[in-house]
Amino acid sequence: SQKIDVVYNGVSSPFKPLKEEEKVKIVAKETNGNPYFICLGSIHPRKNSITLLKAFQKFKSENLQYPHQLIFVGRKAWKNAEIEEYLKSMSFRKDVLFKGVMDDTEISKILASATASIYASLFEGFGLPVIESLACGTPIITSKGTSMEEISKGSAYLFEPLSVDELMEQMIFIINNKGIVNEKVISGLAVAEEYNWDKTANLLWEVILKALKL
């Protein structure tokens, strides 16, 4: 049997941590100063958007002391009746913000200023927003048993993809445990450094040369 070579994606250069004073400006601009969770990517059933919305609704209704909002960055891939109907029913709908499509420089700033990034997708080939979050020094919550768990190498907060409660618990944990969370952020920055396009290109070239010798 032949060995399969895996070549991972890289993360582009704008994705890096921001200074605290820059974060304050971004948060003031995007949410009038309210801290926020962020979800990158299209709004789509495969992205598990409904579980994220339910977890956020429960988080807000059971923790009124938290002023946090939820930002989606990306396009609505296609209209989904369940997601649209749930949005209408949310008592905290005003705290869910849709920013649409942004370029990498804009995304990197809004991502680096978030309390945490949430990537709740049910399955992905890779899950680039996970690495982009790590590169920005932003805590990342993502789905267990997926490629995202693999590529984050222990630097992500994990939840069962359909568990509203587990996702909510991770959101609360990140808010309340800054010291522990910062340790994981530091390890995440090191993980993100492993995913760069130069390394990806070199690995791909090695695989091609090896294939030509077969």
pLDDT value of residue 42: 78
Residues β-bridged to residue 136: none
Query: What is the residue-level pLDDT of the chain in tens, covering all 214 positions?
Result: 445 444 444 465 689 999 999 999 999 999 999 999 999 987 878 889 999 999 999 999 999 999 999 999 998 766 678 888 999 999 999 999 999 999 999 999 999 999 999 999 987 656 789 999 999 999 999 999 888 888 888 899 999 999 999 999 999 999 999 999 999 999 999 999 888 755 554 545 455 466 566 5
Burial class (CB in 10 A: 0-12, 13-18, 19+), 211: exposed
| Angle made by CA atoms 9, 14, 18, in degrees to the nearest 5 | 125
Which CATH number do you get for residue 146?
3.40.50.2000
Tell me, yes or no, whether 148 lies in a domain: yes
Tell me, yes or no, whether 204 lies in a domain: no
What is the extent of the structural domain holding 115?
20-189
User: CB count, 10 Å around CB of 54?
Assistant: 17
pLDDT value of residue 81: 84
Tell me, yes or no, whether 209 lies in a domain: no
pLDDT value of residue 78: 61
Tell me, yes or no, whether 83 lies in a domain: yes
Judged by DSSP in three states, 121 sits in coil
Tell me, yes or no, whether 59 lies in a domain: yes
Tell me, yes or no, whether 207 lies in a domain: no
Euclidean distance between the first and the last CA atom of the chain, given in angstroms as a whole number: 13
Tell me, yes or no, whether 68 lies in a domain: yes
Give CA–CA dist 177/76, Å, rounded.
33
Total domain count for the chain?
A: 1
Tell me, yes or no, whether 160 lies in a domain: yes
Residues β-bridged to residue 70: 37, 96
Give CA–CA dist 125/208, Å, rounded.
21
Burial class (CB in 10 A: 0-12, 13-18, 19+), 31: buried
Of 152, 107, 100, 161, nearest to 131 (Cα)? 152
Question: On the CB side of 38, how many CA atoms lie within 13 Å of its CA?
Answer: 30
